[in-house]
């Protein structure tokens, strides 16, 4: 279960980059650069959020909103906070944001070896539909392409869909 404290979501900004880059480096074999995150901040179709616990960034994630689709580009939780439900909260928050922006479905790529992430995505309606051979060039690893064809149904099943703006703070 998640550690008790003040949990909040914020739009990614330049002031968050040092903390985000620290998490990125310990989370991925080929981490994004500072400039990749700056692009996300500036790209009009990008929605990127940081997750804070008691004022400390413990995770982040984002998607590109294109037509009626949300393409989830990155999700990471600091290793000290993994396995406590924060990744699920962040994914659901991103799906809520996507739905509010008009997306009805979502897609993502995940490493074939990242079974933990695949299981989480599957629990939230994502299904493997295809494989991108050697997508991750660092180790020539395949990416599994996963789709969720009904964000609204996923949020309703999770009990999070709301008519109004989602809560920005959970205690």
Q: Is 135 a catalytic residue?
A: no
In a domain, 42, yes or no: yes
Catalytic pick among 19, 109, 141, 161:
109
In a domain, 55, yes or no: yes
CATH number at residue 114: 3.40.630.30
Q: State the chain's mean pLDDT as an integer.
A: 90
In a domain, 101, yes or no: yes
String of b and e for 158-171 (b: at least 16 CB within 10 Å)? bebbeeeebeeeee
Considering its fold, how many domains does the chain have in total? 1
Backbone angles phi, psi at 166, to 5 degrees: -65, 150
Look up the domain containing 140 and give its range.
7-161
pLDDT of residue 171: 24
Instruction: Supply the angle between the helices 17-27 and 34-42 in degrees, to the nearest 10.
Output: 120
In a domain, 88, yes or no: yes
User: For the chain, what percent of residues have pLDDT higher than 90?
Assistant: 83
Q: Is 109 a catalytic residue?
A: yes
Q: Give the whole-angstrom CA distance, residue 103 versus residue 118.
A: 21
pLDDT of residue 39: 94
Q: What is the average pLDDT across 29-47?
A: 94
Q: What SS3 string covers 35-94?
A: HHHHHHHHCCCEEEEEEEECCEEEEEEEEEEECCEEEEEEEEECHHHCCCCHHHHHHHHH
Instruction: Give residue-wise pLDDT tens across range 81-138.
Output: 999 999 999 999 999 999 999 999 999 999 999 999 999 999 999 999 999 998 888 8
Catalytic pick among 60, 81, 121, 136:
121
In a domain, 168, yes or no: no
In a domain, 68, yes or no: yes
In a domain, 93, yes or no: yes
Residue 159 pLDDT exceeds 70: yes
């Amino acid at each position: 279960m998640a550690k008790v404290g003040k949990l909040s979501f914020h739009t990614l900004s330049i002031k968050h980059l040092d903390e985000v880059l620290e998490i990125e480096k310990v989370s991925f074999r080929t981490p994004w650069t500072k400039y990749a995150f700056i692009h996300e901040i500036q790209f009009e179709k990008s929605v990127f959020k940081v997750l804070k616990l008691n004022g400390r960034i413990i995770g982040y994630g984002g998607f590109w909103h294109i037509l009626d689709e949300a393409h989830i580009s990155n999700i990471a939780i600091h290793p000290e906070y993994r396995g406590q439900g924060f990744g699920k909260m962040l994914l659901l928050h991103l799906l809520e944001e996507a739905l509010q922006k008009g997306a009805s479905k979502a897609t993502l790529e995940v490493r074939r070896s990242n079974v933990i992430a695949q299981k989480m995505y599957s629990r939230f309606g994502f299904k493997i539909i295809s494989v991108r051979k050697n997508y991750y060039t660092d180790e020539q690893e395949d990416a599994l392409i996963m789709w969720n064809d009904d964000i609204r149904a996923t949020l309703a099943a999770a009990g999070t869909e709301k008519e109004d703006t989602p809560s920005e703070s959970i205690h």
